[in-house]
Amino acid sequence: MPYVRRDLMGRIESVHRTSAADVVEYLDASDPELKRFLQEEFGAPDPAKGGVELLPVFEEVLRLLLAKGLVTVEELSDRARATWTHALEARNPPNATRFSASGFVEIIDDSAFGSLPDQR
């Protein structure tokens, strides 16, 4: 796949899995004209974009696996580990301002408020 049939103007008219008497031209699946035809006819998503849409899903799955201890970061390939680390740093830069404990601790004495009325 894909073999295409063209109309009299030379535009792609239909796409087929196999060749036939009137369907002999083979196009690579990455051909821009074929991609455009499929997008216009069927709203077929660009395969390159599909992976981008799944990234948050994969990230969430990886977070869950790591949190549950089913996978450790050390078990990831060097490339996956580097990408994961880079993604985490991009979201939480190491020099970003973080909230820190002020050292100030206050205990609120709520005895002056009295007891709450019975809610029955």
Q: Where are the domains of the chain?
A: 3-42, 47-91
What pLDDT digit, counting tens, does each position of 20-33 carry? 888 889 988 888 99
What pLDDT digit, counting tens, does each position of 69-78 carry? 888 888 888 8
Rounded Cα distance between 13 and 8, Å, is 9
Structure tokens at 41: 């006819």
Q: Does this model's pTM top 0.75? A: no
Is residue 6 within 8 A of residue 25, CB to CB? The reply is yes
Please, which pLDDT band fits residue 2 given cuts at 50, 70 and 90? confident
